[in-house]
Amino acid sequence: MSQSSVSKSRSGTSPGHRVLEYLGIAAFFLLAALIGAEIYRGVPGTAYLLALPLLAVAAYLVADLLSGFVHFLLDNFGSAKTPVFGPNFIKPFRDHHTDPTGIVRHDFVDTNGNNSLVSVPFMLVVWLAVPVSTTVWGFLFGTFFLLLAGAVFLTNQFHKWAHMDEPPAWVARLQDWGVILSKRHHDIHHESPYDTYYCITVGVWNPLLDRTRFFERAERLLRRTVPGTDPRLRVEREGSLNERSTPG
């Protein structure tokens, strides 16, 4: 209803951040079009188009892994008071554990603004520095990168759909086929203490990362080595460990 209002963010971020999110989404689409045009101009030969499905699968898998790692960092390190990233990047993730269905009420800008904002600097570098239209490696990397950026953009939309009781029928079908993150799969992350199944594009890495206790080891390593992080495990989850014991 108030989707057009710049000042109203349903994710609870500040009006200033809301403006940034609008700009981030606009810049994302502009840079995607510019990189896309470079790719189009640079196709080295039709045979190279056969690489597209392979690059798409690779980009999708990398996006899923990236989503897990970024989600892991935002869930476990820093707090809502952390400078710059705290109020608008970390807080929404922490709030999401106490109000898991809040994301369903997020509009397009709330849902996709942050992922656009984090992608834009990388897209700018690729557009400025990678010879996409003049070299074969540039073409292949540029294509992979654009597909990756697209998957990153879609990730929080998939995450939002995974929280809907009744997503659109075609979305539910994609979830059932395991093409995008499903509710059943993502619900595992929403069980206290929220320390596994962080990947939220499709979640294909989650069973492997869970079995190998990858994030538990990564957390321990980071807390031991990064100055300023609390060496104790997961003490900064703002009470979520004690407050919630039932699935979100």
| Rounded CA separation 229/227 (Å) | 6
Q: Which stretch binds Zn ion (CB under 5 A): 73-81, 117-125, 217-225, 237-245?
A: 73-81
| Rounded CA separation 241/59 (Å) | 34
75 contributes a contact to Zn ion by CB under 5 A: yes
| Nearest to 182, CA basis, from 194, 172, 191 | 172
Q: Which stretch binds Zn ion (CB under 5 A): 5-13, 19-27, 72-80, 143-151?
A: 72-80
Nearest approach in angstroms of CB 221 to Zn ion is 19
Q: Which stretch binds Zn ion (CB under 5 A): 10-18, 44-52, 58-66, 71-79?
A: 71-79
* Distance spanning both ends of the chain, measured CA to CA: 27
Q: Considering the complex, state which of residue 75 and residue 110 has its C-beta at the smaller distance from Zn ion.
A: 75
- Total residues contacting Zn ion (rule CB under 5 A)? 1
195 contributes a contact to Zn ion by CB under 5 A: no
* Lookup: tokens for 10: 């349903």
Q: Considering the complex, state which of residue 153 and residue 198 has its C-beta at the smaller distance from Zn ion.
A: 198
CB 135: neighbour CB atoms within 10 A?
14
Burial class (CB in 10 A: 0-12, 13-18, 19+), 5: exposed
Which ranges of 77-107 does DSSP label H, i.e. alpha helix?
Answer: 91-98
Q: Considering the complex, state which of residue 17 and residue 237 has its C-beta at the smaller distance from Zn ion.
A: 237
Q: Considering the complex, state which of residue 4 and residue 245 has its C-beta at the smaller distance from Zn ion.
A: 245
Nearest approach in angstroms of CB 210 to Zn ion is 14
Nearest approach in angstroms of CB 204 to Zn ion is 17
